[in-house]
Amino acid sequence: MSFHSYLSSIITVSDELQEAFYKLTHTKEVKKGQLLVLAGERCNDIYFVESGLLRGYYYQEEKEITHWFAREDEFATCFYSFITHVPSAEFIEAIEPCELVQLPYANLQKLYASFPETERIGRLLTEAYYVKLEGRFLGLQFTTAKERYDDLMTHHPQLLQRAPLGQIASYLGITQETLSRIRAKQ
Amino acid sequence: MSFHSYLSSIITVSDELQEAFYKLTHTKEVKKGQLLVLAGERCNDIYFVESGLLRGYYYQEEKEITHWFAREDEFATCFYSFITHVPSAEFIEAIEPCELVQLPYANLQKLYASFPETERIGRLLTEAYYVKLEGRFLGLQFTTAKERYDDLMTHHPQLLQRAPLGQIASYLGITQETLSRIRAKQ
DNA sequence: CCCTGATTTTGATCTACATCAAAAATCAAG
DNA sequence: CTTGATTTTTGATGTAGATCAAAATCAGGG
């Protein structure tokens, strides 16, 4: 979906707002495997995924841990770096070729100032990051690996066809072997 | 520490800014055991803890899970509710009698608009919530209960004297029995 | 097609922590 | 103090998922 259609489904996009978006964002295409953000760099942009699949990951004792996935119609950024202007701890990688809309921090602030309805974007972003993180934090404590896997599959059924098992396993907080076994029994 | 001294240690507080804070915040005293925010209510305020100890908790299948503690010189709020204006999923309770400074959401926005340096408050808040949550999320996956306990004790050594074991255990994501055993062996 | 490296599966074993249950210690109020 | 309630400790047992290792499958370039 285009960013514009997505926005229209969320808020009323007046002609002036559409104009402002046109000026304040720009599109970006990335190839499979390309890195959008490197750990150690500041992440000053939000990306809206028009098509494709991104993931955020970091290293934990040599091992790559996938922190999130962002598919079409979702926002992606290094949340903490974006909010605090501190260098990112994570990498953003395109798992698939992507069409993205890039919205710099400063431009988002301009939008907030002129079009209060755009604050919903900030909320969706917070929701995408904080709330999901909280949900996963709880999940880690209170649900089994199988439950977490089933939940992921109901919310994102095609993920298994789009991302390698190891990335999904680390996202779920388990080893690849365990995820493989979970899948084996129906 | 007073909110004012704390702020002075973080940002330069001009006379006008001090004046603005005076108008836009107010102090609040709560007794031990008192609830500041109820689950189901919106949380529209940030609290700065001048003295005392607060905790946020929610229910997970009948069980009370402590989500965070906020001691003196820390900010506290129901982060998600505060940011998104959605009803809170958690309760805030005073574990000790507290002196608080209450800053409503709308007033924080006014401060941001007039005194850009106050945006640091928002960052500290995000840090207090998002980053800590992220750290705990990682901890849950990659460290043992003992390591998490030791880490908490180095950062908050008196907590054990100030909050009951069960609350600390649920904060660490373990049972009270396990925490008791961890403490037993030196 | 075949080969090579990456990804996924299968197997055997080990361990941190949960659960259930009861005893012990601490607290708070008459 | 005494007593009942709450909090903490101790004990016995069970299990989800980790780890290590090897086999099997898959994918894409020559």
Which tens digits make up the pLDDT trace of B1-14? Answer: 888 888 888 888 89
Domain range for B178 is: 143-186
A96, A90 Cβ separation under 8 angstroms: no
Query: What is chain A's mean pLDDT, rounded?
Result: 90
* Residues above pLDDT 70, as percent of chain B: 99
Angle, CA B68 vertex, CA B65 and CA B70 arms, to 5° = 140
For the stretch B113-163, pLDDT in tens is 888 788 788 777 777 788 888 888 888 888 999 999 999 999 999 898 899
Which of B84, B131, B141 comes nearest A80 by C-beta? B131
Half-sphere exposure of B134 (CA within 13 A, CB side): 19
Q: For residue A24, give the nearest of A115, A120, A129, A92 by alpha carbon.
A: A115
The enclosing domain of A81 has a CATH number of 2.60.120.10
The answer to whether residue B138 sits within a structural domain is no
Q: For residue A82, give the nearest of A61, A111, A103 by alpha carbon.
A: A103
Nearest-Cα distance to chain B for A83, in Å, is: 7
A140, A173 Cβ separation under 8 angstroms: yes
**B84 and B174 within one domain:** no
Provide the CA B42 to C1' C26 distance, Å, integer: 38
Confidence of residue B179 (pLDDT cuts 50, 70, 90): very high
If you measure CA to CA, which chain B residue comes closest to A134? B133
Q: Which of B89, B107, B130 is the last residue of a domain?
A: B130
The answer to whether residue B18 sits within a structural domain is yes
**B155 and B126 within one domain:** no
The pLDDT value given to residue A83:
81
**B166 and B115 within one domain:** no
User: Which residues of chain A carry a pLDDT beneath 70?
Assistant: 186
- Do B136 and A137 make contact, defined as CB atoms within 8 angstroms? yes
The answer to whether residue B109 sits within a structural domain is yes
The answer to whether residue B116 sits within a structural domain is yes
For the stretch B49-64, pLDDT in tens is 999 999 999 888 778 8
The answer to whether residue A142 sits within a structural domain is no
**B70 and B148 within one domain:** no
Task: With a cut of 90, say whether residue B101 has pLDDT above it.
Answer: yes
* DSSP H or E stretch at residue B177: helix B176-184
- Do B130 and A173 make contact, defined as CB atoms within 8 angstroms? no
Question: Closest nucleotide to A181's CA, by C1' atom?
Answer: C9
* Residues above pLDDT 90, as percent of chain B: 55
The pLDDT value given to residue B41:
94
**B106 and B72 within one domain:** yes
The answer to whether residue B163 sits within a structural domain is yes
**B98 and B7 within one domain:** yes
- CB under 7 Å from strand D: A 144-146, 173-175, 177-178; B 164-166, 176-177, 179-181, 183-184
Count of domains for chain B: 2
Average pLDDT over residues B95-108: 93
- Do B80 and A134 make contact, defined as CB atoms within 8 angstroms? yes
The pLDDT value given to residue B186:
58
The answer to whether residue A135 sits within a structural domain is no
The answer to whether residue B79 sits within a structural domain is yes
The pLDDT value given to residue A186:
58
B83, B42 Cβ separation under 8 angstroms: no
Nearest-Cα distance to chain B for A99, in Å, is: 28
Half-sphere exposure of A118 (CA within 13 A, CB side): 19
Measured distance CA(B101)–CA(A117) in Å, rounded: 30
Strand, helix or coil for residue B68? strand
Task: With a cut of 80, say whether residue B107 has pLDDT above it.
Answer: yes
Q: Which of B105, B130, B155 is the last residue of a domain?
A: B130
- Do B133 and A134 make contact, defined as CB atoms within 8 angstroms? yes
Q: For residue B126, give the nearest of B85, B75, B167, B51 by alpha carbon.
A: B75
CA B108 to chain CA centroid, nearest Å: 17
CB contact, 8 Å: B106 with chain A?
no
Q: For residue A39, give the nearest of A17, A56, A22 by alpha carbon.
A: A56
**B150 and B104 within one domain:** no
**B177 and B101 within one domain:** no
CB contact, 8 Å: B61 with chain A?
yes
Provide the CA B106 to C1' C5 distance, Å, integer: 58
Task: With a cut of 80, say whether residue B34 has pLDDT above it.
Answer: yes
Provide the CA B33 to C1' D2 distance, Å, integer: 27
For the stretch A6-51, pLDDT in tens is 888 888 889 999 999 999 999 999 988 889 999 999 999 999 999 9
What distance, in Å, lies between the first and last C-alpha atoms of chain B?
A: 33
A63, B138 Cβ separation under 8 angstroms: no
